[in-house]
Amino acid sequence: MNHDDLLNTVKALAKGWTLPPHDDKTQATVQHWLDRCDADDAAREALIDAFYTELSFGTGGMRGKMGPGINRINATTIARATQGLANHLRAKHGDAKGLRVAVACDSRNQSQEFAQITAEVLAANGFEAWLYPALRPTPQLSWTVRQLGAVGGVVITASHNPPIYNGYKVYAEDGGQVVAPDDRNLVEAVRAIPVDAVIERNSSGIHELDATWDEGYRDMLKSFSLSSNLRSQGSDLPIVFTGLHGTGALAVPPALAHFGFRCVHEVASQAIPDGNFPTVASPNPEEGPALAAAVALAREVGAALVMGTDPDSDRVGIAVPDGAGDFVLLNGNETAALLTDHVLSKWAEAGRLDTPSFVAKTVVTTTLLEKIADHYGVAVRETLTGFKFIAEAIRQEEGSMQYVVGGEESYGYLVGSEVRDKDAVQSCCLLAELAHELSLKGESMTQRLAALHARHGAYKEGLVSLVKEGREGKAQIDAMMEAYRNDTPQTLAGERVVELRDYASGEIKNAEGLVVGALSQARSNVLQFVTDAGSRVTVRPSGTEPKIKCYASVCRPWNPEASSHEEIMQALQNQVQAHFKALGVV
């Protein structure tokens, strides 16, 4: 389609958005674009970008910029998605009467409005819509689905994306995000609804989830406490926490208090939920600047631990004393290793690993977790990226193996199976518990990490994300993936590539390009290069953002008598950067 034809098609679609039932602001914005698009480049591009394609409803929901148009998150696209969900649930479960669906939202702009619309569309379709009246953590919604005996759930969130974004995450009856075959059936149900369909809504028949559900969630979290000293004595360990203007600001401090922590310092300027996230460039605890204010407060109060959660409280980033008077940020893999070792050691002491057990990780999470699990005699399930696959593994193993702990490199972790999504509220409590236990022994987090490296080998990981926005960006990402797939590098950073794992085809190929094995995971557009030195370099398009992501994981044995921990980690960091350079992403 040439540019003129595209513009004419877009204009025809957009005209309907200048009329009711669209709100006055939407009508005025779209009319302005239509009036100006022939003479104003900015108005023309805004119009085209908003209407040239439908916002993709992927296998777990949708995420996008807010605003008018079929390629945006707005009241119309939220209502259409919910009608598709209602149709899908009826097809799966039959008559909607008596079937429950839980709904929650985070602190983003319009999140509560969109949650209300979601509940109203579900109610109009005959479902019992159970709605949290204000923001709640995403993992609490997962737990609520299970406690309610609901057939599904929805969270309005765009996780850690910039303020202009919002999204729609769908959960199945087990409390995990939808997976195959339900995900494909749901996508088809949403796409079957015309983009201009008028969706019925009903504000009556919505049930409110009151404060007793918050208390129940905190009690459930407390049941995972592993420290007898903390349970009996409490803790005055100084801790700094920031919710980065999100749901963690309301959920984490009470949960920490429930665990027994009496000396929690909050970053006051970031303790107020605000969808504009005014004090940070990005509300993403994976990025160091997001924790800058918390680290500054930690220096003032002499904290033993700094923690920050993203807007929907499923990810947590931490900083710990570096032993030289300052703080060091730990990456998601390092935190996952510390948490996994803490939980497995405590479960082993209590005899809870006497039954078959497993740890879960994704294909881009550090293989150090495998070494730690093997040390405790625990199996490992490796899944595709996305915590929904870890939730699927938990469901698949129920009755044969107990799930203990799992994590993603992207700062998401879960202990036990009461929740079926990564849970930063729980993680904050258990990481604070680990810090408390270490303090009793005169040991630090960095010392414990060094001890793990001395026992299992030193590991270091890195991530580079290249942003490629819009239609051209998607084409560039597709071209990069095809180039990596069809022209596999023979070496990376001086290491010979011995395997190509193609998760799209499910094939494992050797250096000569011959198929030598098959992958057990579901199909996904992910490529992983394995070298003769044990390095793993992985590339994949993001499923939620206009990015291509490149991961590198390197390792080598470490003898503490031959070099310091700082020296070995710096050498590994140099190796990580060399891999990125060889791949052409830095």
Beta strand spans in 158-238 (E): 165-171, 206-208
Composition of the chain by helix, strand, coil, percent to 5: 40, 20, 35
Is the pLDDT at 153 greater than 90? The verdict is yes
Cβ–Cβ < 8 Å for 153, 102: yes
> Can you point out the beta strands (E) in 159-277?
165-171, 206-208, 239-242, 264-266
Provide the pLDDT for residue 428.
98
Where do we find the tokens 């480049």? Answer: 41
Could you tell me if 256 and 273 lie in one domain?
Answer: yes
Q: What's the half-sphere exposure (Cβ side, CA atoms, 13 Å) at 390?
A: 30
pLDDT at 477: 93
Catalytic residue among 159, 410, 417, 535: 159
pLDDT value of position 59: 67
C-alpha distances in Å from residue 2, one per residue of 5, 7, 10, 54? 5, 9, 12, 18
What burial class does residue 486 get, using C-beta atoms within 10 Å of its C-beta: 0-12 exposed, 13-18 middle, 19+ buried?
Answer: exposed
- At 471 the pLDDT is 73
Q: For residue 348, what is the enclosing H or E element?
A: helix 332-349
Beta bridge mates, 540: 549
Final residue of a structural domain among 155, 179, 209: 209
| Known catalytic membership, residue 159 | yes
Whose CA is closest to 144, among 220, 41, 38?
A: 220
Given 406, 425, 456, the domain boundary residue is: 456
Torsion angles phi and psi, residue 354, rounded to 5: -70, -20
Q: Is pLDDT above 80 for 504? A: yes
Three-class SS state of 537:
strand
| Best CA proximity match to 514, nearest among 526, 496, 532, 502 | 502
What is the C-alpha to C-alpha distance for residues 361 and 50, in angstroms, rounded to an integer? 37
Q: What is the dihedral of CA 138, 143, 145, 149, to 10 degrees?
A: 180
List, edge to edge, every strand of the sheet that includes 412-415.
Answer: 379-383, 357-362, 402-408, 412-415
Q: How far apart are CA 487 and CA 176, in angstroms?
A: 37
- Of the ranges 109-118, 305-314, 342-351, 577-586, which one carries the lowest mean pLDDT score? 577-586
User: In this structure, how many other beta carbons lie within 10 angstroms of the beta carbon of residue 398?
Assistant: 12
8 Å CB contact between 245 and 273? yes
Domains of the chain: total: 4
Q: Does the structure show a pLDDT above 70 at 564?
A: yes
Handedness of CA 529, 530, 533, 534 (dihedral sign): positive
- pLDDT (0 to 100) of residue 470: 77
- For the question of whether the overall pTM of this predicted structure is more than 0.85, the answer is yes
Question: Residue 231 is part of a domain; what is its CATH number?
Answer: 3.40.120.10
- Check whether residue 103 and residue 248 sit in a common domain: no
Q: Are 335 and 431 in contact (CB under 8 A)?
A: yes
Q: What is the mean pLDDT of the chain?
A: 95
Looking at residue 539, which CATH number applies to its domain?
3.30.310
Which are the contacts of 571, defined by CB distance < 8 A and separation ≥ 6? Answer: 556
The answer on 163 and 27 residing in a single domain is no
Pairwise CA distance, residues 111 & 129, whole Å: 16
**One domain for residues 351 and 271:** yes
Residue 234, classed as helix, strand or coil, is coil
Residues 238 and 386 placed together within one structural domain of the fold:
yes
Residue-number span of the structural domain to which 34 is assigned: 1-52
340 plus 241 within the same structural domain? yes
Between the alpha carbon of residue 261 and those of residues 27, 190, 238, the distances in Å are 51, 45, 9
Angstrom CA distances, 117 to 67, 75, 123, 333, stand at 16, 7, 10, 38
* Shared-domain flag, residues 163 and 75: yes
Is 182 in the same domain as 244?
no
**pLDDT score at 189:** 95
Q: Is residue 292 over pLDDT 90?
A: yes
Categorize the per-residue pLDDT at 463 as very low, low, confident or very high, splitting at 50, 70 and 90. very high
Residue whose C-alpha is closest to residue 363's, from 178, 531, 569, 502 = 502
Residue 113: other Cβ atoms inside 10 A: 15
Q: What pLDDT score was predicted for residue 301?
A: 98
* 261 and 278 both lie in a single domain: yes
CA dihedral 299, 423, 285, 582 (to 10 degrees): 120
Looking at this protein, which amino acid is placed at residue 176? G
The answer to whether residue 105 scores a pLDDT higher than 70 is yes
Token code pair at residue 117: 């619309």
431 vs 57 pLDDT, higher one: 431
Q: What is the pLDDT of residue 61?
A: 87
Q: What is the pLDDT of residue 1?
A: 66
Give the CA distances from residue 271 to residues 162, 311, 374, 389, in Å, rounded to whole numbers and listed in that order.
Answer: 18, 11, 40, 32
484 and 529 within one domain: yes
430 within 8 A of 342, measured Cβ to Cβ? yes
User: Could you say which of 192, 209, 226 is where a domain stops?
Assistant: 209
CA–CA separation, 330 and 129 (whole Å): 40
Instruction: Examine residue 181 and say whether the peptide bond preceding it is cis (omega within 30 degrees of 0).
Output: yes
Q: Is the pLDDT of residue 58 over 80?
A: no
Angle (nearest 5°) at CA 316 between 311 and 319: 125
Which two tokens mark 305? 């631990």
Percent of the chain exceeding pLDDT 70 equals: 100
Per DSSP, the three-state class of 510 is strand
Is pLDDT above 90 for 103?
yes
Q: Are 204 and 157 found together in one domain?
A: yes
- Per-residue pLDDT band for 456 (boundaries 50, 70, 90) equals very high
Give the single-character DSSP code of 383.
E
Q: Mention every residue, 6+ apart, whose C-beta is less than 8 A from residue 74.
A: 26, 66, 67, 68
C-alpha gyration radius of the chain: 24
Same domain? For 76 and 223 the reply is no
Pairwise CA distance, residues 221 & 230, whole Å? 14
Strand locations in 384-447 (E): 402-408, 412-415
Do 4 and 44 contact (CB within 8 A), yes or no? no
Instruction: Decide if pLDDT at 206 tops 70.
Output: yes
